Structure 1
Amino acid sequence: MFFIDTIEVAGLGNRSYLAGGRREALVVDPPRDVDQVIAAAARRGVRIAHVVETHVHNDYVTGGPELARLTGAAYLVPAGARVSFERTPVHDGDTMVVDAGAGLVLRALATPGHTPHHTSYVLEADGAAVAVFTGGSLLIGTVGRPDLVEPRLTEGLARAQHASARRLADELPDETTVLPTHGFGSFCSAGPAEGGATTIGKEKSANEALTRDVDTFVADLLAGLDEVPAYYAHMGPANAAGPAPVDLTPPAVADADEIAARLAAGEWVVDLRNRVAFAEGHVAGSFNFEAEGQLATYLAWLIPWGKPVTLLAESSGQLAAAQRELVRVGVDRPAAAATGEPSAWVREGEPLAAFRRATFADLAARHPGDGLVVLDVRRSSERADGFIEGSVHIPVHALHGRLGEIPAGEVWVHCAGGMRAAIAASLLDAAGREVVAVDDAFAAAEKAGLTVRTA
């Protein structure tokens, strides 16, 4: 008897896993906030005996060292990974008993490509492979991107990804469940992953690494690589050094005077409320990153690394959830925070700022000579599939440093669905621009009568 529980880290598009038998279990690629992993093991009534890393991660801070310390588990890290802490180095072919009573054994398979040292782990029950934890190697329909380590290594790692995927397909039975860490919205994925469950057999017929020759695969993979979030540059070093334990206690409470002082000092004040509420009324100069959106990814991507951030939330629960998201990417302690209504976040007599929201139909109804600017803040790969004629393109992650490039006039800003447009609108509003946030799906642009062209 064995079990495998999935621990979703939805904000980052990743998954961790708890797997084991009646008494003991292992954890694969744990998030930094390990309390949820410990709670999952407690629900199963098992002891965490092994904490396993498939690679030194580039997209989040691992909870591996802390989880191993708290549980007394062996901490397994690929032998080729250069780290500065004590761990059990894992080599290709190594095996570890997970739960002797359940006949569970973990077997390491070297699968370089996402990183040079990347390792996958096969879970065997009574000698038969039942699942493989593939980390950033074989994903659902794609593979992990090979360009996060060093530009000169990218093509070689892309070729290694192809070979590693083939090794997994050749050595494991078709019915083996494939359990990747990346590929559920993570920017570590080389392409969009589809579906939530897969097997080796399914991947043989659907995965680009298993259906294309190596040269075609590599050429297509390299051509399709998208922008890398800026905070990735800080994740690998943090993980190699061994991350510190997290502190999720509530931040110091900021009143209206402190919020104003922090804004005046050039610090970031981030409003976590939904984009509709923010547009209707917010502290002038604050930025909107919705707690329910990809908060960790986009805030960590845009904020100058290390700059103090004050969080404004509608409730203590929303604030706590945001803190949990942010520690996963190394934004550890908010400088301060406030909860409640925005009217309490401004000093007496100061008005709240606001801007309009609209649809693509509203934009289409405007006359071309009205002196408006259409700003597209999607990524380059999205824009290549279609863009509004005459629009200005600055991806949202680059906008804060390129505000001066936007022509004069009222700015109508859009993305693919509304979330990134709201972030961009808040940046523009804070900079004193007259802005309208297009809160609409891009598919509606052409239907509304706007001219959409492709690159």
Structure 2
Amino acid sequence: MPTIHIEVVETSSLGDRSYLAHDGRDALVVDPQRDIDRFLALAGRLDVRITHVAETHVHNDYVSGGLALARATGAAYLVAAADDVKFDRVNVADGDEIAVSETMRVRAVATPGHTFNHLSYIVSGPAGPEGVFTGGSLLFGTTGRTDLLGPEHAHPLAHRQHMSARRLADLLPDGAHIWPTHGFGSFCSAGQSDATASTIGQEKRANPVLRLEADDFVTQTLDGLDAYPAYYAHMGVRNTAGPDLIDLTPARTADAAELHERVTAGEWVVDLRSRKAFAQRHLAGTLSFGLDGPMSTWLGWMADWDAPLTLLGESREQVAAAQRELARIGIDRPAAAASGTPREWAAGDATRLGELAVASFADLAAARAGNAPGHLPAADVVLDVRLRGEWQAGHIDGAVHVPLPDLPHRLHEVPDGTVWVHCGAGYRAAAASSLLRRAGRRVVHIDDAFGNAEDAGLHFAGH
């Protein structure tokens, strides 16, 4: 008897998953990211034909590749009939059944909550339902957030989210798999989970949406929501209009003179190397957004939309990888790029190179006690750049709080003196430190896990 196989296509930088379901011959792709070459290559390796592409909802956190993939393959493009889009698609509504192949069928289920017109897709084989693609509805241990369409809709959509999750649990057997799009670090998720797989039965035992009554779930969900990336405002518009094809041809190469001009002009010249490499040596005035972390999320959140970006990497491959990540959120073409070393970017001029002091929370505790290690300056200001919810859960007593996404426009609020900057693990603090250094501030980057702060003897507030 033919078996349905589910292939996961991870986009870990955005915290999302896409899927390719196939029976060995024909395939359905669900919620594809914009760089469709990954799905075409996967289908080629599996020797299957993509006959259908399905969207669970109009995405807010990335530019969809669904339309481009459907056009490239000739596949039917399944989109909620209620969504007002500007392109041809196959209208799908609650209860519709689609034959993907002779052995695989999908049933659309209306699951509003994350968006008004959200759909989930129950996948069935010869033996019956095997699982459901849940998009931003029922996730591993949580659900999709309900405030992305505006705060005025958050409360009623949270109630719908509760009903939708309960409906899926009622429709499917406990052994049915769930395959969500969000919940792996995406800001589209109301919470996060370490789970890598789950079933309806597991979610009944662990997921608040299936354990709490509606009012309690709504209250808990809305209380837990924090800020989400500013670039989300552009994604829905782009996806309903019909995204154009991705362009991953190499960006124009900038020489040292042009890099100097762009830095001097105050443009965003982004260093993609690791934060440790940046701290050791960098082109002065550049900003640290290492490709080894969620670069596109934070950079896309903070940089002015449509502002020129210049990418600096150790290699052309690193620049190309960053270009792909940024294109996924609609930042299509860097103004320029360069690969090599800081010395090359500075044309050998040592006065155009910088470094960044790095410390631990133990070093901060010593500095606050008046015993700063000899290579570190006094801790005049402690700046916490974590998000609001993290700050409220507990923070270092006396610290100043400016969430990283707000920092470009609130640099003037950081008190005078040497600034010791921290976040939760070091990545965001590196970005913040580089912004402060560009503004002429003296900075120490605390590259340490926040869990070590209390162990170091630092006093806390907000617990």
5 Å-filtered alignment, 1:257-276, equals 257-276=257-276
* In 2, Cα distance between equivalents of 1:423 and 1:64: 33
* Secondary structure in structure 2 of the residue aligned to 1:399: helix
5 Å-filtered alignment, 1:145-224, equals 145-224=145-224
Match of 1:400 in 2: 408
Tell me by how many angstroms 1:347 deviates. Answer: 3.7
Tell me by how many angstroms 1:18 deviates. Answer: 0.2
Unaligned ranges ≥5, structure 1: none
* Secondary structure in structure 1 of the residue aligned to 2:88: coil
Flag as ranges the 4+ runs of structure 1 deviating above 6 A.
none
2:337 corresponds to 1:355 = no
* In 2, Cα distance between equivalents of 1:63 and 1:27: 10
Match of 1:248 in 2: 248
* Secondary structure in structure 1 of the residue aligned to 2:409: coil
* Secondary structure in structure 1 of the residue aligned to 2:13: helix
Match of 2:374 in 1: none
Tell me by how many angstroms 1:246 deviates. Answer: 0.7
* Secondary structure in structure 1 of the residue aligned to 2:18: strand
Tell me by how many angstroms 1:13 deviates. Answer: 0.3
For the 8 Å contact 2:106–2:121, the answer to whether it is kept is yes
Match of 1:373 in 2: 381
* In 2, Cα distance between equivalents of 1:61 and 1:116: 19
5 Å-filtered alignment, 1:254-333, equals 254-333=254-333
Tell me by how many angstroms 1:194 deviates. Answer: 2.9
* Secondary structure in structure 2 of the residue aligned to 1:188: coil
Tell me by how many angstroms 1:228 deviates. Answer: 1.4
* In 2, Cα distance between equivalents of 1:206 and 1:355: 44
Q: Deviations over 1:261-300 (max 9, x none)?
A: 1223332100000001101111111100010100110010
For the 8 Å contact 2:7–2:19, the answer to whether it is kept is yes
Match of 2:60 in 1: 58
Tell me by how many angstroms 1:127 deviates. Answer: 5.4
Tell me by how many angstroms 1:150 deviates. Answer: 2.2
* Secondary structure in structure 2 of the residue aligned to 1:217: helix
For the 8 Å contact 1:74–1:88, the answer to whether it is kept is yes
For the 8 Å contact 1:105–1:124, the answer to whether it is kept is yes
Q: Deviations over 1:71-103 (max 9, x none)?
A: 000111011111111111101011111121xx1
Tell me by how many angstroms 1:348 deviates. Answer: 4.5
For the 8 Å contact 2:33–2:66, the answer to whether it is kept is yes
Tell me by how many angstroms 1:368 deviates. Answer: 5.5
* Secondary structure in structure 1 of the residue aligned to 2:263: helix
The residue identity in structure 1 corresponding to 2:112 is P
Match of 1:93 in 2: 95
Query: Which of the numbers 36, 39, 43 marks the counterpart of 2:38?
Result: 36
Match of 1:233 in 2: 233
Q: Deviations over 1:16-75 (max 9, x none)?
A: 000011211010000000000111111111110001000000000000111011100011
* In 2, Cα distance between equivalents of 1:145 and 1:191: 8
The residue identity in structure 2 corresponding to 1:416 is G
Match of 1:84 in 2: 86
Q: Deviations over 1:320-341 (max 9, x none)?
A: 1111111111111111100011
Match of 1:21 in 2: 23
Q: Deviations over 1:119-166 (max 9, x none)?
A: 000000025110100000000011000000122211110000000000
* In 1, Cα distance between equivalents of 2:218 and 2:365: 41
For the 8 Å contact 1:205–1:211, the answer to whether it is kept is yes
* In 2, Cα distance between equivalents of 1:2 and 1:116: 30
* Secondary structure in structure 2 of the residue aligned to 1:426: helix
Tell me by how many angstroms 1:318 deviates. Answer: 1.0
For the 8 Å contact 1:22–1:99, the answer to whether it is kept is no
Aligned residues: 453
Match of 1:426 in 2: 434
